[in-house]
Amino acid sequence: MAEERNLVDKREDRELPSAHVLVVDDEHSIRHFVKCALADAGYHVTMAASGEEALAKFKEGPDLVVLDMKLPDADGLDLLAQMKQESPDTPVILITAVADVKKAVEAMKRGAFYFLRKPLALDELEGLVREGLEKRRLKLEVEVLRSKMWQEEGIVRCTSPRMAHVYQIVEQVARGENTSVLIEGESGTGKEHIARNIHKLSSRSTKPFLEINCAAIPRELLESELFGHEKGAFTDARAQKQGLLELAHGGTLFLDEVGEMSLTLQVKLLRVLERMTFKRVGGVKDISVSVRIISATNQNLEKRVREGAFREDLFYRLKVVPIYVPPLRERRDDILPLAAHFMQQFNVAFKKDFERIQPEAERILVEYPWPGNIRELRNLMERMILLETGTELSPGHLQLGQSPRSPRAGGGNDLADRIAAMLDAPGLPAAGVPCEGILEELERALILKASEASNGNQSRTAELLQMKRDKLRYRMKLYRMNGGHGEDEGAEQTGT
């Protein structure tokens, strides 16, 4: 009869949950009592009678621990801390014979799942074990979903070894919710994409992700955008305004082109990183926030530090974890997967039916140096999918390394003709028009024309375009255009 019962028990064990519970108590009767109760509920139970034995068996990876507060060779709180350091996600239920509110509070601070007093009530203990294991299961499921999201957002599109290394760093740094990150790389390499994925994979993912381009906003307005202002702080401050730091509380603030920030503003940003407090412009009250700062630059910040244009202390506070995003020409394995992704994306957007890129066109795409990186590839695919018809993209559809004024291979439909055709048409096409791409092409064409007229002199080019020289240099850098020659080139080389 006993053998029959054992066979039934073994058969049922295979059908019951296989969660592993470690029970740690120096009293044999309690260990046996808890083991029988949890084994009957379907759990695999191991036991330990001392702190040393508990740590040894903890290395086996239990799913949950029931831990006595007082052991002959160790304190339960110290053991709890060691277990949490080794495996933060493993729930630990502390049990004690003495009711001590301070100890209970300390245990919860150190990460205990629950604090239970002896004598133990079996129903309560079994309920807590189920609850602890369920919480752990849900957390693991969230991690799996985050990992899947990351693969969908990143690895599926970029499979090169260089980017695989970048993704590894991103996954690691996402776990440190307060760690500052500096993303370096050429314009158009996808630095914002990396920043967004750090946020998505972090514990701050449900909170805001806000971004600001420090080069696109006049320096006198950037401080107000970041820190906000009080009513009457300056002429146009007609009402109180919250800044991005305040609005991003609990989440992430992405500072793009951080190298363009003024030295005065750099001092204030450094204080935020050190204390997580700031004052609005015109304010006297300190505002406390919890924000992760991710910054990005396409400049050599170390060089700007040597030149005195960027604070060294801020540089090291921003660059706690550096991530370098390589240019597209250094990871050619990513070009065709990205092109296919953008083709599908714009097929949907423009209701087109392109199915493939012809082999010769693929060869041209892979061999092209892509000075504008992923942004240039994306704009090219958007333009082709919108303007061409059929199911295949051929070499004749490509327009690479040409001035926007030059006729497209096989067509003669240049930028001016395309704009004129769209403006003369009775209405816009149902799929819309790539306004951003066209404006970029137009601006680039005008800069090229003005640069040719001024023989590459940036000051004169800026005058012809009626824009400030700093803005012109930013635009030329954005479009990966040659800096020209003449007096400005000499000035740049001497650092003046």
Residue with tokens 């799929």: 431
User: Which pLDDT score is estimated for 463?
Assistant: 85
22 in Cβ contact with 64 (< 8 Å): yes
3-state secondary structure 355-388: CEECHHHHHHHHHCCCCCHHHHHHHHHHHHHHHC
Reading the block at residue 331, the tokens are: 């990871």
Which segment of 96-100, 182-186, 204-208, 488-492 scores lowest on mean pLDDT?
Answer: 488-492
Does the N-terminal peptide bond of residue 119 adopt cis geometry, omega within 30 degrees of 0? yes
pLDDT > 50? residue 243: yes
Assess whether the region 2-139 and the region 334-494 belong to the same CATH fold: no
Q: Mean of the pLDDT values across residues 161-166?
A: 86
CA torsion angle 428 432 436 440 (round to 10):
-60
User: Which pLDDT score is estimated for 416?
Assistant: 67
Q: Mean of the pLDDT values across residues 465-483?
A: 78
Cα–Cα distance for residue pair 490/179, rounded to 1 Å: 40
Reading the block at residue 44, the tokens are: 């695999």
Q: Mean of the pLDDT values across residues 319-335?
A: 92
Tell me the CATH number of domain 2-139, given options 3.30.70.1350, 3.40.50.300, 3.40.50.2300, 3.40.190.10.
Answer: 3.40.50.2300
Give me the chain's average pLDDT, please.
Answer: 82
Cα–Cα distance for residue pair 195/325, rounded to 1 Å: 11
Buried b (16+ CB within 10 A) or exposed e, 120-147: beeeebbebbeebbeebeeeeeeeeebe
- Decide which of 243 and 454 is more confident: 243
Q: How far is CA 392 from CA 343, 377, 414, in A?
A: 10, 17, 21
User: Which pLDDT score is estimated for 50?
Assistant: 93
Alpha-carbon dihedral sign for residues 3, 9, 15, 18:
negative
User: Which pLDDT score is estimated for 182?
Assistant: 96
pLDDT > 70? residue 31: yes
pLDDT > 50? residue 484: no
User: Which pLDDT score is estimated for 148?
Assistant: 58
3-state secondary structure of 161: helix
Q: Which CATH architecture has domain 160-326?
A: 3-Layer(aba) Sandwich (3.40)
User: Which pLDDT score is estimated for 88?
Assistant: 85
pLDDT > 70? residue 460: yes
User: Which pLDDT score is estimated for 14?
Assistant: 35
User: Which pLDDT score is estimated for 388?
Assistant: 87
pLDDT > 80? residue 219: no
3-state secondary structure of 166: helix
Sketch the domain layout of the chain as residue ranges.
2-139, 160-326, 334-494
Q: Mean of the pLDDT values across residues 225-238?
A: 81
pLDDT > 80? residue 478: no
Which segment of 100-104, 190-194, 425-429 scores lowest on mean pLDDT?
Answer: 425-429
Chain mean position to CA 49: 45
- For 133-208, strand residue ranges (E) read 181-184
Q: At residue 45, what are phi and psi to the nearest 5 degrees?
A: -120, 130
Quickly count: other Cβ atoms within 10 Å of residue 7's Cβ.
10
User: Which pLDDT score is estimated for 137?
Assistant: 85
Name the residue among 93, 91, 134 with its Cα closest to residue 117: 93
CATH class of the structural domain 334-494: mainly alpha
- For 25-154, strand residue ranges (E) read 44-48, 64-68, 70-71, 74-75, 92-96, 114-117
Cα–Cα distance for residue pair 488/496, rounded to 1 Å: 9
286-315 pLDDT, tens digit each: 899 999 999 999 989 999 999 999 999 999
Cα–Cα distance for residue pair 144/116, rounded to 1 Å: 31
Which segment of 153-167, 234-248, 388-402, 438-452 scores lowest on mean pLDDT?
Answer: 153-167
Burial of 298 (0-12, 13-18, 19+ CB in 10 A): buried
Q: Mean of the pLDDT values across residues 86-94?
A: 90
pLDDT band (50, 70, 90) for residue 12: very low
pLDDT > 60? residue 235: yes
Residue with tokens 């028009």: 433
User: Which pLDDT score is estimated for 270?
Assistant: 94
pLDDT band (50, 70, 90) for residue 98: confident
- Decide which of 440 and 287 is more confident: 287
Which segment of 135-144, 331-340, 463-472, 486-495 scores lowest on mean pLDDT?
Answer: 486-495
pLDDT band (50, 70, 90) for residue 476: confident
Q: How far is CA 132 from CA 19, 34, 125, 155, 264, in A?
A: 11, 16, 10, 33, 50
User: Which pLDDT score is estimated for 93?
Assistant: 94
48-64 pLDDT, tens digit each: 999 999 999 999 889 99
